[in-house]
């Protein structure tokens, strides 16, 4: 890492907020004004709204991530975790991918560590569940689902087959509803190539503790989304939760019991728990408490935004809701990052801070090829769309929102190719254990059976 005399702006997290804030700072900064250091355990930013499509094979997983070193060539990018912050000494402790942890001094700090899956102590969940927060999980889920079809197609054991073909998704927000919609679509497509598996043999189950799904698009479109999924054979159980899933035996509060090899957990997120070690003021649910300028309460050199921050929603507050906070979504993360970047530059130069204010522009959700819901706010007009048109809105919006032209072009190319070449439905499950086959080939060979027997006979005679 660089040890220049320039002030250091340390950006903790290279996701939505981290990437966009760093880009903004670098764009507005004068040559040599500061060193921008971005620390993230991954060397890439993940465009999370595309994870369901990556899980369904509609977009190549590599095109859903943005390499930090490539898009931030003027920043110092460190691959590791920030584990603690010492505000008195203004140093952060970094645990790199390998080797000893070390301290990194900073002058200005940006906290952008996002959220992690919110889980509960449900027996079996930690061992059986898979989340949907990172590209690794999307790739893993896709391989796993296709592998279940392979297994079911080639077994004679009816119990194994039933368990393999039962897919349980817990959580019906954006992430859950979109993922089950996309994965069901992929499995339906893939089943055409199997002799002994058809869509009717599969069971897709969506569970949510609330009484609706897709709350982000409002009650009417949420209800449409539910009916649409049910029309495709998905069983939707609302106002219920999962009690346990030990060894894949799923027990729901409503009494339903099924065996399943696939339990996808998308029941919400919570702020990154590491925040509790940073000594920053936290809100009741663990978010960093910020002012409307995105400065952390009680500081003038630390900013926070995105899923790990509780940012006052000025639009909601002006409309009379004194306790309005910005919801954790990409729409806010992106816009907060820009204001945050400007405010860091202003803070460094001693200029006043801007307030963050953004009126909700709506939400779009894809539920599989040519299916979706969209809720668009244009001034006083609220437009609700469903079906193919909503799906085009979803693809158009996210395709253009994808960071960098390089990634946008790759994503649109994937979609275009899929029109002509059809979706790829091969499982590469062995990717998770790539050394296994080589190990088998390279390990010392046992003595050949025939030779060993001859030797034994010779000894005996
Ligand atoms: C499946 C899914 C679908 C979604 N769909 C939509 C949608 O359609 N529309 C929408 O508006 N929003 C959607 N969202 C939400 C949206 O993606 C998030 O609100 C947005 O990514 C938040 O940005 P962020 O920068 O706060 O966090 P993130 O983008 O998650 O970035 C946090 C970064 O911090 C890093 N980090 C974690 N711990 C440390 C540490 N100790 N040290 C350093 N770095 C660390 C992480 O590796 C990560 O790169 C979706 C989310 C998911 C999971």
At 79, list the tokens: 């691959």
Place of tokens 């940012």: 311
How far is it, in rounded angstroms, from Cα 296 to Cα 290?
4
How far is it, in rounded angstroms, from Cα 143 to Cα 55?
8
- Closest residue CA from atom 49 of ligand 1: 15
By DSSP bridging, strand 76-86 and strand 35-40 are parallel
* Topology alike, domains 8-117+270-349 and 125-267+362-420: yes
Residue 290 falls in which region: left (phi positive, over 0), alpha (psi -120 to 50) or beta: beta
Contact 375, 363 (CB under 8 A): yes
Q: Is 249 exposed, middle or buried (0-12, 13-18, 19+ CB in 10 A)?
A: middle
The torsion angles phi and psi of 388, rounded to 5 degrees, stand at -65, -40
Nearest ligand 1 atom, CA 305: 26
How far is it, in rounded angstroms, from Cα 387 to Cα 225?
9
One pLDDT digit (tens) per residue for the chain, 461 residues: 655 579 999 999 999 999 999 999 999 999 999 999 999 999 999 999 999 999 999 999 999 999 999 999 999 999 999 999 999 999 999 999 999 999 999 999 999 999 999 989 999 999 999 999 999 999 999 999 999 999 999 999 999 999 999 999 999 998 999 999 999 999 999 999 999 999 999 999 999 999 999 988 888 899 999 999 999 999 999 999 999 999 999 999 999 999 999 999 999 899 999 999 999 999 999 999 999 999 999 999 999 999 999 999 999 999 999 899 999 999 999 999 999 999 999 999 999 999 999 998 888 999 988 899 998 888 788 898 999 999 999 999 999 999 999 999 999 999 999 888 877 777 776 667 778 788 888 888 777 766 556 566 666 55
Separation of CA 280 and ligand 1 centre (Å): 20
Which fold would CATH assign to domain 8-117+270-349? FAD/NAD(P)-binding domain (3.50.50)
Q: 125-267+362-420 architecture in CATH?
A: 3-Layer(bba) Sandwich (3.50)
- List residues near ligand 1 (CB under 6 A): 12-18, 39-42, 48-49, 51-52, 81-82, 112-114, 132-133, 174-175, 272, 274, 306-308, 328-331, 333
Q: Can you give the residue ranges of every domain in the chain?
A: 8-117+270-349, 125-267+362-420
């Amino acid at each position: 890492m660089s040890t220049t005399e320039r002030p250091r702006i340390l950006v903790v997290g290279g996701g939505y907020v981290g990437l966009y804030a760093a880009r903004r700072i670098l764009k507005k900064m004068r040559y040599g004004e500061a060193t921008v250091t971005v620390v993230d355990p991954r060397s890439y930013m993940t465009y999370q709204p595309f994870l369901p499509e990556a899980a369904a094979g509609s977009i190549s997983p590599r095109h859903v991530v943005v390499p930090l070193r490539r898009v931030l060539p003027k920043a110092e990018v460190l691959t590791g975790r920030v584990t603690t912050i010492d505000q008195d000494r203004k140093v952060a402790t970094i645990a790199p991918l390998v080797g000893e942890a070390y301290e990194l001094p900073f002058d200005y700090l940006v906290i952008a560590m996002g959220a992690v899956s919110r889980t509960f102590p449900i027996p079996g969940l930690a061992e059986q569940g898979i989340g949907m927060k990172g590209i690794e999980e999307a790739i893993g889920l896709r391989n796993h689902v296709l592998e279940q079809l392979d297994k079911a197609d080639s077994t004679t054991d009816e119990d194994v087959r039933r368990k393999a073909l039962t897919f349980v998704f817990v959580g019906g927000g954006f992430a859950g509803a979109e993922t089950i919609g996309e994965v069901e679509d992929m499995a339906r497509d893939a089943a055409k190539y199997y002799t002994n598996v058809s869509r009717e043999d599969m069971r897709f189950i969506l569970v949510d503790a609330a009484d609706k799904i897709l709350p982000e698009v409002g009650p009417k479109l949420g209800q449409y989304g539910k009916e649409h999924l049910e029309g495709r054979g998905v069983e939707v159980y609302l106002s219920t939760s999962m009690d346990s899933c030990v060894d894949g035996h799923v027990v729901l509060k409503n009494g339903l019991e099924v065996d399943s090899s696939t339990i996808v957990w998308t029941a919400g997120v919570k702020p990154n728990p590491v925040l509790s070690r940073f000594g920053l003021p936290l809100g009741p649910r663990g978010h960093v408490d910020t002012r409307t300028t995105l400065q952390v309460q009680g500081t003038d050199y630390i900013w926070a935004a995105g899923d790990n921050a509780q940012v006052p929603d000025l639009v909601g507050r002006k409309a009379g809701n004194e306790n309005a906070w910005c919801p954790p979504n990409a729409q806010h993360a992106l816009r907060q990052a820009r204001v945050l970047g400007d405010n860091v530059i202003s803070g460094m130069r001693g200029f006043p801070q801007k307030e963050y204010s953004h009126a909700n522009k709506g939400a779009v959700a894809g539920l599989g090829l040519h299916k979706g819901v969209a809720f668009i706010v244009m001034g006083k007009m609220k437009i609700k769309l469903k079906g193919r048109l909503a799906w085009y809105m979803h693809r158009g919006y996210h395709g253009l929102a994808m960071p960098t032209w390089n990634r946008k072009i790759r994503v649109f190319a994937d979609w275009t190719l899929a029109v002509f070449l059809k979706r790829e439905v091969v499982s590469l499950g062995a990717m998770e254990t790539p050394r296994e086959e080589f190990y088998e080939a390279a390990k010392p060979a046992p003595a050949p059976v025939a030779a060993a027997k001859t030797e034994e006979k010779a000894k005996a005679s």
